């Protein structure tokens, strides 16, 4: 995608202070999109400033907690236009089901799913025929042990993506999900170096994913020239979902 094809488009990326969201914002800005980086974390200001410096001012920051419905609505309503909505903000933690509480589930759902719905709804109202919504799911939606609340929230992201895709396709707005495998970002802080090395060794491609691996796919799905793909869940996981390896 060249800057010329994306010039004038505006994207909103949630959870963009670091990790996958930051890499996605970087990539979209490099493609010529003006990117609004949002995050509950104040580091989003520095993140946007860094991109803006490198990419001719094509980035700005907004503090946003995706659980705040009114703030989500106001952010979207206050932009001159919205062409791309990347719903990336998310949380993860490890807890066996016997220790999980309904409150753990609700917190996970509020951030990983309900915030996504609110922003997708608000963005869709503003989008024209080349609108694109990209939701970040996880390979975990296929099933995983020790974090049922996360798995369930990401399976719900897939369901939401498919439902929105059907509703919005007649308007030319395309909605897809990217399901990352294990990507080396701060979300993995709970894992020791040893656990990370073991994780890398069981990936068919022999390494953990990089934020850029996901950003590249998001940028592809966000482009107006990608106009015959909707309602899909694209696994970007180094082949991990294929099975065949132990561990
Ligand atoms: N890293 C992985 O291995 C992996 C794998 C599969 C899916 N994912 C998904 O990718 C997305 C990004 O993950 P990451 O690895 O970059 O994680 P990360 O923890 O590095 O970044 C997540 C960002 O979301 C922000 N955030 C958290 N709660 C928020 C809220 N209430 N409102 C606004 N922002 C909030 C955080 O401040 C942080 O900047 C998440 O949805 C995650 O579930 C990550």
Binding site membership of 18 for ligand 1 (Cβ less than 6 Å): yes
Report the nearest-CA residue for atom 30 of ligand 1: 65
150 as an active site residue: the answer is: yes
Residue with tokens 């719905």: 117
Residues 6+ apart with CB under 8 A from 131: 82, 83, 84, 85, 123, 124, 168, 171, 172, 173, 174
H helices of 59-147, in order, are 69-77, 102-109, 115-126
pLDDT value, residue 247: 46
Atom of ligand 1 nearest to the CA of 23: 16
Pairing label, strands 174-180, 34-39? unpaired
Binding site membership of 187 for ligand 1 (Cβ less than 6 Å): yes
How far is the centre of ligand 1, averaged over its atoms, from the C-alpha of 170 (Å)? 31
Cα-Cα-Cα-Cα dihedral sign, residues 11, 4, 177, 125: positive
pLDDT by position in tens, the chain (length 247)? 555 678 899 999 999 999 999 999 999 999 999 999 999 999 999 999 999 999 999 999 999 999 999 999 999 999 999 999 999 999 999 999 999 999 999 999 999 999 999 999 999 999 999 999 999 999 999 999 999 999 999 999 999 999 999 999 999 999 999 999 999 999 888 788 999 899 899 999 999 999 999 999 999 999 999 999 999 999 999 999 997 655 4
Does the pTM surpass 0.85? The reply is: yes
Binding site membership of 238 for ligand 1 (Cβ less than 6 Å): no
Where do the domains of the chain lie, and which CATH numbers do they carry?
A: 3-239 (3.40.50.720)
Of 12, 13, 18, 19, the residue with max ligand 1 atoms within 8 A of its CB, to mutate for a pocket test, comes to 19
Instruction: Give the C-alpha separation, 206 to 154, whole Å.
Output: 25
How far is the centre of ligand 1, averaged over its atoms, from the C-alpha of 171 (Å)? 29
- What does residue 148 show for φ and ψ, rounded to 5 degrees? -60, -35
How far is the centre of ligand 1, averaged over its atoms, from the C-alpha of 143 (Å)? 19
């Amino acid at each position: 995608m060249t800057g010329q094809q994306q010039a004038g488009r505006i994207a909103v990326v949630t959870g963009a202070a670091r990790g996958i969201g930051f890499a996605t914002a970087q990539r979209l800005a490099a493609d010529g999109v003006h990117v609004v980086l949002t995050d509950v974390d104040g580091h989003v200001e520095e993140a946007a400033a860094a991109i803006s410096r490198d990419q001719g001012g094509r980035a700005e920051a907004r503090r946003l907690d995706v659980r705040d419905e009114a703030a989500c609505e106001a952010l979207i309503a206050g932009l001159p236009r919205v062409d791309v909505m990347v719903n990336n903000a998310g949380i993860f933690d490890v807890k066996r089901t016997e220790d999980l509480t309904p409150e753990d589930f609700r917190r996970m759902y509020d951030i990983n799913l309900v915030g996504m719905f609110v922003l997708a709804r608000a963005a869709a109202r503003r989008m024209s025929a080349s609108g694109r919504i990209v939701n970040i799911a996880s390979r975990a939606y296929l099933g995983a042990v020790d974090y049922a609340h996360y798995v369930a929230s990401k399976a719900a992201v897939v369901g939401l993506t498919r439902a929105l895709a059907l509703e919005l396709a007649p308007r030319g707005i395309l909605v897809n999900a990217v399901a990352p495998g294990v990507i080396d970002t701060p979300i993995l802080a709970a894992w020791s170096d040893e656990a990370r090395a073991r994780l890398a060794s069981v990936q068919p491609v022999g390494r953990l994913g990089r934020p850029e691996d996901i950003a590249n796919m998001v940028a592809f799905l966000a482009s107006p020239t990608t106009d015959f793909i909707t309602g899909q869940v694209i696994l970007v996981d180094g082949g991990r979902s294929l099975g065949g390896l132990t561990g």
